[in-house]
Structures are given as structure tokens and as C-alpha cells.
């Protein structure tokens, strides 16, 4: 009888040790399609990819600062891309937001 209780006790301890890891939430934030389109637009208006003066290092530095300005990290961005790649409707929403914002910017600039 005692060996059964010891075995049950061991199993219970193992289960209790594993439970906290099972439901652990990811600490990264998902950037909403609306916010991601804001970040994308701001990045593209501030950094000209065809310019010789904007090196990859400068672009990375600016991008990190831009993410921080919006309250996100590079890991949040990477995680967001992974989530969007798993749910293509997120990309659709991102591009719809982007088109609306581009059209708005175009009509207000002319």
C-alpha cells in the first residue's frame, strides 16, 4: 500500500511541476494591423530605401526606435509576423489599413 501512495505522490508532484509551464502566456505583444500599418508608413516616409545615405544599420536603428515609440520591441514585431503568417486574415487587414492610410495621405498632400 505504501508504494502505491509514494507512486501517486511522485506523479502528483510531477504534474504540479509541469502545470505552470503548460498555460504560460507568451510575453510578446501582437501589433494590431492598424498599428503595424502606422509603423510601416512612418518607416517608409522617414527612411528612403533608394537613398545611398540610409544604410542598413541606420535603418535598423531607426526601426528599433520607431517600434519603441509605439511601445513594441523587435521581438514583438517578429512574433507579430509569425502570428500573421499563421492567420492570413491579419495580413489582409494590415493591407486594407495601409491602402486607406496611403489614399488619405495622397489626397491630403495634393
* pLDDT tens for each residue of 28-82: 999 999 999 999 988 887 766 556 555 667 777 888 899 999 999 999 999 999 9
State residue 7's pLDDT score.
Answer: 59
Residue 24 has pLDDT above 50, yes or no: no
Residue 94 · residue 37 · CB < 8 Å:
yes
Q: Which domain holds residue 43?
A: 27-109
Residue 2 has pLDDT above 60, yes or no: no
State residue 73's pLDDT score.
Answer: 94
User: Is 18 inside any structural domain?
Assistant: no
User: Is 15 inside any structural domain?
Assistant: no
User: Is 38 inside any structural domain?
Assistant: yes
Q: Which run of H or of E encompasses 36? A: helix 33-46
User: Is 60 inside any structural domain?
Assistant: yes
Residue 34 · residue 96 · CB < 8 Å:
no
User: Is 83 inside any structural domain?
Assistant: yes
**Number of domains observed in the structure of the chain:** 1
Amino acid at each position: 500500500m505504501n508504494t502505491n501512495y509514494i507512486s501517486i505522490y511522485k506523479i502528483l508532484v510531477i504534474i504540479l511541476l509541469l502545470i505552470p509551464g503548460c498555460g504560460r502566456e507568451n510575453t510578446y505583444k501582437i501589433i494590431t494591423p492598424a498599428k503595424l500599418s502606422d509603423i510601416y508608413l512612418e518607416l517608409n516616409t522617414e527612411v528612403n530605401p533608394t537613398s545611398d545615405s540610409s544604410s542598413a544599420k541606420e535603418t535598423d536603428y531607426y526601426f528599433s526606435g520607431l517600434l519603441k515609440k509605439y511601445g513594441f520591441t523587435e521581438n514583438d514585431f517578429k512574433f507579430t509576423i509569425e502570428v500573421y503568417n499563421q492567420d492570413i486574415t491579419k495580413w489582409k487587414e494590415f493591407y486594407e489599413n495601409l491602402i486607406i492610410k496611403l489614399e488619405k495621405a495622397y489626397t491630403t498632400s495634393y
